[in-house]
């Protein structure tokens, strides 16, 4: 049986990681992998996380299963973090299942959508996170794309986006990035979110929100504003969230899949299907990451500590965007990179071509993916001049 298998290509980002590790250039820079890095190039364990882990080590009393939905306190606290004091929560219309990371949450959502409507199409932005399409297709769903990022003008194709979404059949699912769009960094503004909410009601599609970077854009509240606006407008919605970035819990694989239904009774039915999906994929989630988040959000002291650390990460990212823009401009490059400062989160497209990307890697050991997407958190005060000189050289 195995002899019939054909080798598959390595994921481009994983291949980039391997090449970077093997590179012996002391000046090498990794701008490909999508994890937060501090000034020293490390992905730190947050102080709030360390304290929560110490508390858990002392107080954990069992290694028994935690149930299909996972840590229920974690689920409730994630609902509050995402929705605040939202009417959907007050009306008991929300149900949440802990999931193994944001990716696991998306796969659970995909299988849930399939149970609801096996013929549903999932619409994603052009471009979108590379794994979105394969996740939905693996569940047997059809995936189509709608216009989003304007590569030429480094902006949104909002009119084209709306015109396409007006044609989406009722019952289809449309995926939106709540904030810090991956890979473009371009987000909808408040007025555009209102337009999208009105359109969802008018057309009848189901919004699916991927929120992997809450707190990395403007603030915890502002980054969830579009999500909350949609939730106030529609009867049904799916939210896939992740704690990998804002809590720095990448390897703990902790996320959640939340369902908003039109009323409490429908939410209960939806929850039974959601948990059936969980049972059929991984049965029950791991405990550690959810316990950490729950412990932090249950403590006034740890919550404030986490807020402070999150603010520090966000401010560093936003400062790096300005630094990159100004450093590239100072090199006299004809190409305009000012758009980097107008975007949110860790990612931006540099807008350089494949030959220039290859030269950055070959001549300077600067690693970015083939689309020219860069993780701005990989830049620091110590490597910015090296990076800017390299870009200036390949852009001649």
Q: What is the pLDDT of residues 218-234, one digit of tens each?
A: 999 999 999 999 999 99
Q: Are 375 and 344 in contact (CB under 8 A)?
A: no
Which is catalytic among the residues 123, 129, 193, 306?
A: 129
Residue 347: beta bridge partners?
Answer: 375
Was domain 10-44+313-394 assigned CATH 3.90.1150.10? yes
CB atoms within 10 A of CB 307: 15
49-108: per-residue pLDDT in tens? 999 999 999 999 999 999 999 999 999 999 999 999 999 999 999 999 999 999 999 999
What are the residue ranges of helices labelled H in 282-396? 288-297, 300-330, 354-364, 384-394
Buried b (16+ CB within 10 A) or exposed e, 135-167: bbeebebebeebbbbeeeebebbbeebeebbee
Q: Are 193 and 186 in contact (CB under 8 A)?
A: no
263 has pLDDT over 90: yes
Q: Is 245 a catalytic residue?
A: yes
Q: What is the pLDDT of residue 168?
A: 98
The tokens for 6 are 């054909």
Which is catalytic among the residues 30, 172, 187, 210?
A: 210
What is d(CA 316, CA 320) in angstroms, rounded to the nearest whole number? 6
Confidence of residue 24 (pLDDT cuts 50, 70, 90): very high
Which is catalytic among the residues 223, 245, 291, 306?
A: 245
Mean pLDDT of 130-134: 94
33 has pLDDT over 90: no
Q: Is 210 a catalytic residue?
A: yes
What is d(CA 103, CA 210) in angstroms, rounded to the nearest whole number? 10
What is d(CA 135, CA 257) in angstroms, rounded to the nearest whole number? 14
Its CATH architecture, for the domain 65-298, is 3-Layer(aba) Sandwich (3.40)
The tokens for 393 are 């050289």
The reply to whether omega before 323 is within 30° of 0 (cis) is no
10 has pLDDT over 80: no
Q: Are 164 and 197 in contact (CB under 8 A)?
A: no
Mean pLDDT of 325-348: 95
Question: What are the boundaries of each domain within the chain?
Answer: 10-44+313-394, 65-298
Q: Are 373 and 314 in contact (CB under 8 A)?
A: no
Q: Is residue 14 helix, strand or coil?
A: helix
Mean pLDDT of 171-199: 98
Least confident of 12-26, 223-237, 358-372: 12-26
321 has pLDDT over 90: yes
274 has pLDDT over 90: yes
Q: What is the pLDDT of residue 11?
A: 79
Q: Is 154 a catalytic residue?
A: no
């Amino acid at each position: 049986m195995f002899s019939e298998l054909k080798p598959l290509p390595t994921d481009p980002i994983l291949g980039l990681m391997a090449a970077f590790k093997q590179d012996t250039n002391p000046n090498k820079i990794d701008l490909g992998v999508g994890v937060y890095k501090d000034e020293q190039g490390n992905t730190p364990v947050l102080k709030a996380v360390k304290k929560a882990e110490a508390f858990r080590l002392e107080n954990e009393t069992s290694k028994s299963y935690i149930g299909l939905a996972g840590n229920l306190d974690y689920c409730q606290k994630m609902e509050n973090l995402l929705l605040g004091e939202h009417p959907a929560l007050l009306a008991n219309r929300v149900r949440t299942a802990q999931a193994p990371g944001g990716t696991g949450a998306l796969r659970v959502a995909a299988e849930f959508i399939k149970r609801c409507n096996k013929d549903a199409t999932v619409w994603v932005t052009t471009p979108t996170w590379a794994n979105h399409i394969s996740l939905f297709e693996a569940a047997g769903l059809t995936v189509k794309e709608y216009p989003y990022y304007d590569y030429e003008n480094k902006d949104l194709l909002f009119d084209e986006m709306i015109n396409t979404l007006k044609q989406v059949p009722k019952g289809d699912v449309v995926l939106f990035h709540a904030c810090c769009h991956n890979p473009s960094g371009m987000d909808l503004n408040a007025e555009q979110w209102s337009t999208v909410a009105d359109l969802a009601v008018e057309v009848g599609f189901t919004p699916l929100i991927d929120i992997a970077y809450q707190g990395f854009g403007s603030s915890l509240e502002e980054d969830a504003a579009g999500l909350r606006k949609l939730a106030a407008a529609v009867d049904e919605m799916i939210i896939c969230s992740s704690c990998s970035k804002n809590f720095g819990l990448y390897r703990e694989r902790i996320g959640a899949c939340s369902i908003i239904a039109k009323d409490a009774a429908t939410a209960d039915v939806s929850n039974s299907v959601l948990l059936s999906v969980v049972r059929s994929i991984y049965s029950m989630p791991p405990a550690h990451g959810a316990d950490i988040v729950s412990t932090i959000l249950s403590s006034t002291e740890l919550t404030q500590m986490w807020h402070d650390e999150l603010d520090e990460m966000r401010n560093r990212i936003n400062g790096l965007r300005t630094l990159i823009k100004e450093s590239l401009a100072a090199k006299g490059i004809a190409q305009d990179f000012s758009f980097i400062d107008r975007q949110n989160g860790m990612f931006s497209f540099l807008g350089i071509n494949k030959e220039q990307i290859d030269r950055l890697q070959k001549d300077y050991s600067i690693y970015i993916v083939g689309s020219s997407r860069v993780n701005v958190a990989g830049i620091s005060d110590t490597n910015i001049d090296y990076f800017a000189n390299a870009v200036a050289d390949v852009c001649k």
